[in-house]
Amino acid sequence: MPKAKETVLEIDLKALKHNFEYLKSKLKSNTKILAVVKAFAYGSDANVIAKYLQDLEVDYFAVAYVNEGVALRDAGITTPILVLHPQAVNFKTLIARCLEPSLYNAKVLNEFIAIASEEHQTNYPVHIKFNTGLNRLGFWENDVDYIVSKLENTSSIKVKSLFSHLAASEDLNEKEFTETQIKSFKSIAKDFSKTIGYQPMLHLTNTSGIINYPEAHLDMVRTGIGLYGFGNSEKENKHLKPVATLKSIISQIHKIEKGESVGYNRSYISSGFEKTATIPIGHADGIGRHYGHEKGFVIINGKKAPIIGNVCMDMIMVNISHIECQEGDEVIIFGKQSDASKFAQTANTISYEIITAISQRVKRIILK
Ligand SMILES: *Cc1c(COP(=O)(O)O)cnc(C)c1O
């Protein structure tokens, strides 16, 4: 890997391939894989990741919003794309770009049917989402008759899949709850298929569900975080490889005396003679202020350097008193040797949040 000369996010496609194949090895050969590439493919680069996965013959993509799906179509992605949380204002665009909506309540179902028929569609593929306990989005179990009655009155749309989302698939203390969700989804699916007279595809699990609940793989699984290298547990993280490495350099080194302060509001005071390094990455790049005050750390020449004082918009300062280093040396914020879930833990958050937070200002470098 090349040494950084500025702040960069390296995207390792070999790691992505490894993770894809590892997750696939957990599935039966006929189980389909949907790759979740919302939020710029979890902060990496959605176009690059989706093209690569399309070449690996992934079955489906999912994004959260219509504009994310439009960007993928603009980039030449032809694989089906499920839009998990579309808004009615974008339904015409969604249809124009062959994106497939998740319909999760009566309002969006009726709005979508109206627009699909206005646009002269027949059997436009839609996905019906059921709430089985997350209480976020989704129809309820007793909405089946209502949905089917609406569908029987239109030829504009056709249900391609039924799905639900697990609330705590990574937490084995919640096994009982998860098993109830699985049972409840299977029962809704059976009821729905019987009432409508055909069998849509079924999908339920996210990454941790793939790992912990093989009985819930059904026709397709949806994986996001696993593709990017995290399995929500120490044990699973070992089998996966982080795709993104966030690197920077030392811009300047300062030597300060006891009692001197560092950064805005003088929130760090040196307790003796110390060396500090200034690094060109700040909260505008995604390193939030909660990583300051010696909570977060970076790696310089293999050693941990704590972030001192307040995180600035474009910079952080770290303590390098104990590290042999020079201006221009490489700095690792997270990557393979010190991964994003460890970095995130220092600020009481999770891998998902830190990797999706890396802003578009940070240059992406693709390693093939
Ligand atoms: C984001 C998302 C996923 C992906 O979850 P991971 O834990 O990242 O695998 C799957 N399904 C839905 C509905 C989501 O919103």
Q: Which residues of 187-206 are buried (b: 16+ CB within 10 A; e: fewer)?
A: ebbeebbeebeeebbbbbbb
- For ligand 1, is residue 225 a contact (CB within 6 Å)? yes
| Closest to 45 in 3D by CA, of 18, 72, 79, 70 | 72
Percentage of the chain lying above the pLDDT 70 cut:
100
Give Cα 11 to chain centroid, integer Å.
14
- Nearest atom, ligand 1, residue 165 CA: 13
**Which CATH number applies to 244-367?**
2.40.37.10
Q: Are strands 261-262 and 297-300 parallel, antiparallel or unpaired?
A: unpaired
CA of 36 to the centre of ligand 1 (A): 7
Domain pair 13-230 / 244-367, same fold:
no
**Which CATH class for the 13-230 domain?**
alpha beta
pTM score, whole prediction: 0.97
Assign 305 a pLDDT band (cuts: 50, 70, 90). very high
- Nearest one of 295, 333, 356 to 7, comparing CA atoms: 333
The residues assigned a catalytic role are 38, 264
Tell me the pLDDT band of 343, cut-offs 50, 70 and 90. very high
| pLDDT for residue 2 is more than 90 | no
Short-list 279, 318, 276, 329, CA closest to 5: 329
Question: Distance (Å, rounded) from C-alpha 58 to C-alpha 54?
Answer: 5
Say if residue 266's pLDDT is above 90.
yes
For ligand 1, the distance from its centroid to the CA atom of residue 363, given in whole angstroms, is 26
DSSP, res 310: -
Going from N- to C-terminal start, the domains of the chain cover 13-230, 244-367
* Ligand 1 atom nearest to 226, measured from its CA: 9
Considering the chain, what is the average pLDDT of its residues?
97
Overall average pLDDT of the 95-124 stretch: 98
206 in contact with ligand 1, CB cutoff 6 A: yes
Highest mean pLDDT: which range of 68-72, 231-235, 335-339: 68-72
User: How many angstroms from the chain centroid is the CA of residue 229?
Assistant: 11
Q: Looking at the DSSP assignment, which residues form a beta bridge with residue 33? A: 221
CA 127-147-124 angle, to 5 degrees, is 40
